[in-house]
Amino acid sequence: MGTPLSAVVTCRVAHGRHPFMRKLTSLLPVLVALPGLAQYEFDHAIIDELAWREGHHWHGTLRSDAPPTRGYDLKYMRAEWTVDPAVRAIEGTVTLWFTATSELDVVVLDLSDTLVVDDVRWHGQAISWDLALGDVLTVDVPGVLSAGVLDSISVTYHGVPRTSGFGSFGTGTQPNGSPALWTLSEPYGAKDWWPAKQDLNDKLDSVDLIVTTPQPYRVASNGLLIAETTENGSTTFHWRHRYPIAYYLISLAVADYIVLNTEIIAGTDTIPMVTYSYYDNPTMAELNAGDVAVQLPLFTQLFGRYPFAEEKYGHAQFGWGGGMEHQTMTSMGGWNYGLAAHELAHQWFGDKVTCGSWEDIWLNEGFATYLQGLTAEYLVPQYWREFLESNKAIITSDPAGSVRCTDTTSIARIFSSRLSYRKGAAVLHMLRWVCGDSAFYNGVRNYLNDPGLAYGSARTSDLVDHLEATSGLDLSGFMADWFVGEGYPTYTLQWTQEQGGGTQVMLFQSPSHPSVDFFEMPVPVRFWNDVQDTTVVLDHTVSGQSFTFILPFLADSAEVDPDLWILSGQNIATSVPDLDADRISLVLWPNPAGDQVTLRVPGLHGPAEVQVVDAAGRAVLTTPTNGGMDHTIDVRSLVAGHYTVILRSGTMYFRGALLRL
């Protein structure tokens, strides 16, 4: 199967005069056959649902942008927990290994003040500690720990994790009434159930999670299940994970599960895939694992090896409406193709490379949403355009808003589906357009494999550095407009063509928000007639810019951005008899017109007056406009014939010819 992008011939018009041909080569052959999809329903609501779910389980204080803090660097955790899904509580001992990064006499951890600390030990000896309001556990280590020396403390505790809505530590029942328990700590809820260091820039390098629960419940968790022992009616599950992991990606899901095993072949890897399903629909659970078996090889082709290939991937059903990308064991609220793709994508974007600040949450959510779309582009292409159109419609429903998260104290803003998820994905799609497929994919792969970022955390500038290196472009202007700035452009194109094929166009742009004066972009324009078409790429640097080039045929139609590369509003392309400076700037459509005609003066905002003048020079209709970009006027009172439409705004004056049918 080929890619829908292959072999589109385009010419890029640099600035007005000399077009040169550019061939967009196909990215790479997608070798994956169209799968027998279990349940392809391209559920766009799932993105909003995900965002809502990911944003409504949190309570507490957000921090962001912290360098590795508190004088120590976490290395390893051994957690021994006892839970019973029928009882909303936890007890256990967590041993944290760390090296001091400077001389250290207290170890500060995050732990909910609703829990009860029983004992804290250092080298087997009980030591003093204080659990203060505000969820700060301060442990006094005897003497002073030297920088660079590996050490550890053990915290034994019990209690009922804080309750809030669906909470970071949830309990419920599966549809057959059997109790279930799960955790969901993003962004800041790990401390609700274990003593954590909630720092995006200090991952644990590896963990052993040893969880005891009554029979017949089973525990699903991160890494590999290396031991399972039953004694006195309880089973202890020993999960071992040997990859670095951020605090919010550690999870437990405990229920009377059906366990389904399969294998996924991706490149040279054979990756175990395990599904922990409730009893309600194990067949759908199994089919959804089949979806992953196709999505994972695609992501491997595009972005490199599955990051946790030495261990496994898994799905664990939980009592939550969306999904959560727990490392190597995604929690799934239901079985859905798009949800599976989104959470799988997070294993590369979010888990392997974690946003280093909540300001950069788009590095997690924008990528996961975009990869969800890429499964459509490459595997089920009939859904790709729908994905792009849906994103565009929702993002442009509001003229404002940046991809950069401007308020990291607001959960709603961090997990904004319109901005962090969808506009983040749109910006990645535009970076691909601007850089080209080869530079984009190579740059993103280099970002994922950068030794300073892989299995660690990254900021937006890290991604940009890699894309600049592979593309040779300076992306600072692009990022200022699209990451920091708000809104999007709307394009108006006017074009005319001579019999010899000589073509002249003028391209206007209206930004939707004052934070961006102008979006400099290569703008694709397609021209066609009944038998052929070609796409010209215009390097747009100023509104009202004119371009001249020769098309090898006479076109009867044109469209701005026909393949939806650019996040933009309702674009218009109109053919005009000739482009003279006096007439070009007032666009009328439809024209000829029936009952209504809409006017646009690109770049003009604010009140204006419209006057329609008949062939005899008499003003037959005068009406004020609403100040928006487009003005629709009712022309039912006009008899059929030719008119001149004049629009005045202050000293500005525009006109155009109208044919009333």
Residues 6+ positions from 604 with CB-CB distance below 8 Å? 629, 649, 652, 654
Residue 190 lies near Zn ion (rule: CB under 5 A): no
What are 64's two structure tokens? Answer: 């962001």
Angle between helices 460-471 and 362-379 (to 10 degrees): 50
Angle between helices 424-435 and 384-395 (to 10 degrees): 120
What are 619's two structure tokens? Answer: 């003003």
Among residues 202 and 365, whose Cβ is nearest to Zn ion? 365
Cβ-contact 176, 279 below 8 angstroms:
yes
- Cα within 13 Å of Cα(351), Cβ side: 25
In one-letter notation, the amino acid at residue 156 is T
Among residues 98 and 308, whose Cβ is nearest to Zn ion? 308
Q: Binding to Zn ion (CB under 5 A): which residues in 520-559?
A: none
The residues facing 521 across adjacent strands are 540
In one-letter notation, the amino acid at residue 346 is H
Among residues 200 and 368, whose Cβ is nearest to Zn ion? 368
State in angstroms the smallest separation of the CB of 459 from Zn ion.
19
Cβ-contact 239, 209 below 8 angstroms:
yes
State in angstroms the smallest separation of the CB of 39 from Zn ion.
20
Among residues 137 and 411, whose Cβ is nearest to Zn ion? 411
Q: Which residue is nearest to Zn ion (CB)?
A: 368
Among residues 331 and 571, whose Cβ is nearest to Zn ion? 331
Dump the DSSP string for 355-397.
ESSGGGTHHHHHHHHHHHHHHHHHH-GGGHHHHHHHHHHHHTT
The residues facing 245 across adjacent strands are 204
- Helix boundaries (H) for 258-348: 282-303, 337-346
State in angstroms the smallest separation of the CB of 301 from Zn ion.
21
State in angstroms the smallest separation of the CB of 420 from Zn ion.
9
Cβ-contact 27, 136 below 8 angstroms:
no
State in angstroms the smallest separation of the CB of 50 from Zn ion.
5
Q: Mark residues 261-300: x for contact with Zn ion by CB under 5 A, - for none.
A: ----------------------------------------
State in angstroms the smallest separation of the CB of 381 from Zn ion.
23
The residues facing 311 across adjacent strands are none
Residue 638 lies near Zn ion (rule: CB under 5 A): no
State in angstroms the smallest separation of the CB of 361 from Zn ion.
9
Number of residues that bind Zn ion (CB under 5 A): 2
Q: Binding to Zn ion (CB under 5 A): which residues in 306-365?
A: 365
Among residues 184 and 597, whose Cβ is nearest to Zn ion? 184
Among residues 217 and 370, whose Cβ is nearest to Zn ion? 370
Rg of the chain, C-alpha, whole Å: 29
State in angstroms the smallest separation of the CB of 323 from Zn ion.
7
State in angstroms the smallest separation of the CB of 274 from Zn ion.
21
State in angstroms the smallest separation of the CB of 324 from Zn ion.
8
Among residues 49 and 365, whose Cβ is nearest to Zn ion? 365
Q: How far apart are CA 286 and CA 340, in angstroms?
A: 12
Among residues 80 and 365, whose Cβ is nearest to Zn ion? 365
Q: Binding to Zn ion (CB under 5 A): which residues in 29-88?
A: none
Count of CB atoms situated within 10 Å of the CB of 273 = 18
| Span from 107-115, 366-374, 578-586, 591-599 in contact with Zn ion (CB under 5 A) | 366-374
Q: How far apart are CA 511 and CA 489, in angstroms?
A: 4
State in angstroms the smallest separation of the CB of 338 from Zn ion.
11
Over 580-637, what HEC string results? CCCCCCCEEECCCECCEEEEECCCCCCCCEEEEEECCCCEEEEEECCCCCEEEEECCC
C-alpha triplet 351, 354, 358: angle, nearest 5°: 130
Residue 368 lies near Zn ion (rule: CB under 5 A): yes
Among residues 331 and 543, whose Cβ is nearest to Zn ion? 331
Closest CA to 350 of 445, 252, 455, 437: 455
Cβ-contact 89, 83 below 8 angstroms:
yes
Cβ-contact 336, 39 below 8 angstroms:
yes
Phi, psi (deg, nearest 5) at residue 147:
-60, 140
State in angstroms the smallest separation of the CB of 405 from Zn ion.
14
Among residues 192 and 365, whose Cβ is nearest to Zn ion? 365
Among residues 353 and 435, whose Cβ is nearest to Zn ion? 353
What are 602's two structure tokens? Answer: 């690109």
Q: How far apart are CA 141 and CA 525, in angstroms?
A: 67
State in angstroms the smallest separation of the CB of 51 from Zn ion.
8
Cβ-contact 583, 535 below 8 angstroms:
no
Q: How far apart are CA 175 and CA 333, in angstroms?
A: 12
Among residues 187 and 304, whose Cβ is nearest to Zn ion? 187
Among residues 395 and 573, whose Cβ is nearest to Zn ion? 395
State in angstroms the smallest separation of the CB of 342 from Zn ion.
6
- The site for Zn ion (CB under 5 A) is made up of 365, 368
